[in-house]
Amino acid sequence: MSLNRRSFLQVSSAAVGLVMAEAAFARIAYAEGAAGTLRVAIAKPAGNLDPQSHFAIWAIQDLMFEPLVKYGKGGQIEPCLATDWKIEDGGKTLHLTLRQGVTFQDGTVFDAASCKWNLERWMGKEQFSWMNCSKYFESLEVVDDYHITLRFKEPVLALMQELTYTRPPRFLSPKSVGADGKFGEPVGTGPWRQTSADDTQSVFERYDGYWGDKPSYERLEAKVIPDPRSRVAALRAGEIDLIGGFWIAPLTPEEGKQLEAAGFNVAIDPGNVSLVMAFNPDRADALKDQQVRKAISIGIDRAAISQALYHGYAKPAGNLFSSALPYAGKQNDAPVRDVAAASALLEKAGWTGSPVRSKDGKPLTLEMVVSPDAVPGSRVIAEVIQSEMKEIGVDLVVRSVDHASKHTDMLEKKYDLGFFLTYGAPYDPFGSVVALCLSTFKNDVEGKLVTDAANLDPLINAATAATGDQIEPTIQKVYDWLYDNDAIAPLVYVPSIWAHSKRVQGFTGPVTEYDMPYENIVLAE
């Protein structure tokens, strides 16, 4: 058969047309399959969903398991499975009224008996002694079917906040566990019921027996996409509807900006997690001098970091906590970069010369340990700070390490300068203050941001022992001590960034980084 130009063009255009038609049909079929389904990206498989273990993605547990009370905007405690609560006896007794008409997804009634069964799974256990309500737990008394009373040995600090946590305080159906009492199926009282889960995705369907406002769509798919660029590409291709969340599928400011330019909706929340730089005077003698710490702090251009690296989405920080958190204290202005003042402080402290200052023949060389896996973007921030420190005569050596080494190095305090992230709502302010700053509290995950057994510990202990009106002035003293001694250098408040397609309407960012923001979403088909 001979092939002339005309027949070649006919055949090839037919082939191209066929391929395009097939792609279009596939898209239509795909869109039909997705009707009524919200598709969210998750960076890793959801994991073991046992509310009393520590391995799952928080936001996935949040879909199924509910707490007694919820953490609302600004730290407001809102009713959930408990409709009313009363704290008596100076914080040692808690009376709870449970919500009636709630059933677990397997039909089991939620009442005082199932509530007791759940609370006894973790309260008072050594494993959960990091929570005050578990550490001081004394007894639990069932008053009637919908009333229980909890008693504690000591007044419990931030008791209601602790009850909002995702794990361990959330409620699991007593019938879902094995004969040995071990976790079996993820069955909670929440609006979503898991239908399947594997390493590629977790699928949920709406639980129609849910007591509260039911979602307006029937299915939710959490698709596992580990690579950040693939997640962004999947959103663009219409394979997923929603990405974001620090612990779910983090989106960088740059990606947010690109998606915004490409016509996607990008929701930025000021965020309640702070990026803080720690000084380690135990390793670097120079940092024992407050003038040196202050010089380093004011030598950093927080505004430029926020502008250039966060595209203005992050707010420069002057405090350990942002005002989005309760008891965040008086808000100080973020330090403004002042090279002359920083240099003057170093001169005054006896560090002279150039290009690298020295004192008693020792150069002012400091080592900064960063891990981009543990604190996203920290390597670039370190490079910026390195260049800014050079201008004031401080030789900053950046050591970039992997996630695992970062944790061991931070625990063993093998750094002069390092980055820390605060825990954010609902754990803060007390979570970070105790875990990162109290020397007697054992923290073998992040290490310590700053400790001072003689001066800081008494202030923190006073703040955690305070009740009622006394909390605010006592915790302010902790913040004042940190500020007056330049003990830490808060850098920026890390923004919470979410992006979604036009299909998703009514999106509002989650109150904490541990929640899945499914609630107000309406899907446009």
Partner 1 sequence: MNKLKPLFARLNKFPRVALVVIGLFVALGTFAPWLAPQDPSAQNLLQGSLGPSVAHWLGTDHLGRDTLSRLIIAANTSLVSVGSVLIIAMTIGILMGTIAGYHRGWVDDLLMRVVDVGLSIPSLITALAVIGIVGPGYWTMVLALALAWWPMSGRISRAVAVSIMSKPHIEALRVLGASPWRIYFGHLLPGTIGAVMVYATADAGTAALAVATLSFLGLGIQPPTPEWGQMLVDALPYLESDPRQVILPGLALTAAVIGFNTLGEAIALNRIPKPLTRRMLAMRRIEVAGWAKENSDA
The span from the CA of 218 to the CA of 189, in Å, is 16
The span from the CA of 219 to the CA of 25, in Å, is 23
16 vs 404, which CB is nearer to partner 1? 404
141 vs 412, which CB is nearer to partner 1? 412
Token pair for 91: 């914080």
CA angle 160, 445, 377 (to 5 degrees): 100
Q: Annotate each residue in 330-369 with x if it binds partner 1 (CB under 8 A) or - if it does not, as one string.
A: ----------------------------------------
Footprint (CB under 8 A) of partner 1, residues 147-206: none
Sole window of 37-45, 172-180, 400-408, 440-448 interacting with partner 1 (rule: CB under 8 A): 400-408
Burial class (CB in 10 A: 0-12, 13-18, 19+), 105: buried
Q: Annotate each residue in 236-275 with x if it binds partner 1 (CB under 8 A) or - if it does not, as one string.
A: ----------------x-xx-xx--x--------------
Footprint (CB under 8 A) of partner 1, residues 274-303: 301
370 vs 435, which CB is nearer to partner 1? 370
The span from the CA of 419 to the CA of 370, in Å, is 7
Handedness of CA 112, 114, 116, 122 (dihedral sign): negative
Burial class (CB in 10 A: 0-12, 13-18, 19+), 379: middle
Q: Annotate each residue in 42-81 with x if it binds partner 1 (CB under 8 A) or - if it does not, as one string.
A: ----------------------------------------
Burial class (CB in 10 A: 0-12, 13-18, 19+), 442: exposed
> Closest approach of Cβ 518 to partner 1, in Å?
28
Query: Could you give phi then psi for residue 81, rounded to 5 degrees?
Result: -80, -15
> Closest approach of Cβ 353 to partner 1, in Å?
20
216, 522 Cβ separation under 8 angstroms: yes
Residue 436's nearest CA partner among 423, 425, 426 is 423
513 touches partner 1 (CB under 8 A) = no
Among 307, 365, 439, 443, binds partner 1 (CB under 8 A): 307
229 vs 442, which CB is nearer to partner 1? 229
> Closest approach of Cβ 400 to partner 1, in Å?
5
216 vs 405, which CB is nearer to partner 1? 405
Token pair for 106: 């397997």
Sole window of 126-134, 305-313, 341-349, 449-457 interacting with partner 1 (rule: CB under 8 A): 305-313
The continuous run of DSSP H or E covering 306 comes out as helix 302-309
Among 109, 304, 336, 522, binds partner 1 (CB under 8 A): 304
Q: Where are the alpha helices (DSSP H) in 138-289?
A: 159-162, 228-236, 253-261
> Closest approach of Cβ 375 to partner 1, in Å?
13
114 vs 371, which CB is nearer to partner 1? 371
405 touches partner 1 (CB under 8 A) = yes
387 touches partner 1 (CB under 8 A) = yes
155 preceded by a cis bond (ω within 30 of 0): no
Q: Rule CB under 8 A: which residues touch partner 1?
A: 229, 252, 254-255, 257-258, 261, 301, 304-305, 307-309, 372, 379-380, 382-384, 386-387, 390, 397-402, 405
